[in-house]
Structure 1
Amino acid sequence: MNRRTTPVNRRIALTAALALTAGLALTACGGGTTGNTAPQLKVSDPYMPQPVTQSMAGAYFVIKNSGGTADKLTSVTSDLSKDITIHKTVGNKMEQVDSLPVPANGELTLGPGGNHLMFMGLSKKPAEGQTVTIELHFATAAPITVQVPVKATSYTPKH
């Protein structure tokens, strides 16, 4: 059988090559389930122990990221205070940081003795049973507004 390159054979070969190239391009662009999705953030278990004084308060919660891309908590705003800082605890020392990582398919936990928020110079002293509104800001994801219940000073979460 004589296999000469004819215009029909060239068109068939070109069509096959284009189909293969398109399939590879779609896979590379995330057409598959490779986990390269944007951060998907959700806040759970927020609380603020009732402040002892009007000078400072702390807040705790968990940020869960079900997305395939990491993000960072970069700042927090609230009408409770104009001076809200992010802290991590290393050993027995508390350090102010510019951000905290929220890992891909993971979580960032803020709790007593670890990562937490500090509210300085409170505009009012919230009481147990009240709710404080805060807005969390991230490097990538849209801000999240969180209603934080004020708990007793001695409150310990059940997790």
Structure 2
Amino acid sequence: MNMRHHIRAAALVAGTALACLALSGCEKANTPTVEDSAAAHDSASGNPVAVPGPDAKPGISARNGRLILAPVAGNPAAAYFTVRNGGTKTAELVSVHIDGASQAMMHTTDGGTMKMLDEVKLDPGAEVSFAPGKMHVMVFGLPKDTKAGTSVEMTLTFSDGDKLSMPLRVQAMGSGMDPGMAEATGMGGPGDMNGMHH
């Protein structure tokens, strides 16, 4: 009897241990890793996309963010990205902030002339691209250590105060800067914008 009792007890302990190990393995498999929790990327291009925070505007998303540096350090850079309104109400983008920059302003290129934009409207379902030859963001006063291959954070602010942040990949001049913007890189700052309409 004692021998059978010991054998059954040992089998019970072994079974319990195996069950605990299996449960532990399942829990580890379902626990997000650092890679799983990292910033989302566009499945097609691999470029970073905006990850809405707690104060993000519902339905708004952005992708393909990049910052093109001027050929001369200290001159304005250009930011490009695509923003989409997947919500049911019109959204108005009123400002752009680039982390570390002294100023960022939205412009559009029309017939070779740049014009400043106070706001950009996004109708429900609409997608707007800030791209070379179209709308862009002029970025002034970037830190001297801003180099190609790094990233900076951009924050979009809408008329109701909601915000959306996303990373911008920093690239060197020649990676698709607006031709008109390239000419503007010879300017010293926001106060020296010959040929631009405000």
TM over 0.5: yes
1:92 CA displacement: 1.5
Per the TM alignment, residue 125 of structure 1 is displaced from its structure 2 partner at its CA by 5.0
In the TM superposition, residue 129 of structure 1 has moved relative to its aligned partner by: 0.6
Tell me if structure 2 keeps the 8 A contact 1:88–1:115.
yes
Question: Following TM superposition, by how much is the alpha carbon of 1:141 offset from its aligned partner in structure 2, in angstroms?
Answer: 6.4
Partner of 1:127: 147
- Give the Cα–Cα distance (whole angstroms) in 2 for the partners of residues 101 and 140 of structure 1: 13
One of 121, 136, 146 as aligned partner of 2:156: 136
Correspondence 1:45-124 to 2 at 5 A:
45-52=64-71, 53-124=73-144
Letter of the aligned partner of 2:62 in structure 1? V
Which residue of structure 1 lines up, in the alignment, with residue 61 of structure 2?
42
Partners of 2:69 and 2:76 within 8 A in 1: no
Unpaired runs of at least 5, structure 1: 1-37
User: 2:108·2:117 contact (CA, 8 Å) conserved in 1?
Assistant: yes
Question: 2:167 corresponds to which residue?
Answer: 147
Give the conservation status (yes or no) of the 8 Å contact 2:98–2:139: no
Provide the C-alpha distance between the structure 2 equivalents of 1:116 and 1:50, rounded to a whole number of angstroms.
13
Q: Distance in 1 between matches of 2:99 and 2:65?
A: 17
Single out whichever of 76-85 and 131-140 deviates more from structure 2. Answer: 76-85
Q: Distance in 2 between matches of 1:132 and 1:126?
A: 8
- Aligned partner of residue 134 in structure 2, secondary structure: coil
The question of whether the paired residues in 2 share the 8 Å contact of 1:79 and 1:123 is answered with no
Q: 1:62 touches 1:107 (CA, 8 Å); kept in 2? A: yes
Cα distance 1:93–1:125, how it changes in 2: closer, same or farther (>3 A)?
Answer: farther
Structure 2 unaligned regions, length at least 5: 1-56, 177-198
Q: What amino acid maps onto 2:112 in structure 1?
A: N
Amino acid at match of 1:94: M
Question: How far off its partner does 1:39 sit?
Answer: 5.5
With 133-142 and 105-114 compared, the bigger mean Cα shift is at 133-142
TM-score (norm 2): 0.55
Q: Give the secondary structure class of the aligned counterpart of 2:133.
A: coil
Percent identity over the alignment is: 25
Tell me, yes or no, if the aligned pair for 1:39 and 1:140 is still in contact at 8 Å.
Answer: no
Deviation at 1:128, TM superposition (A): 1.2
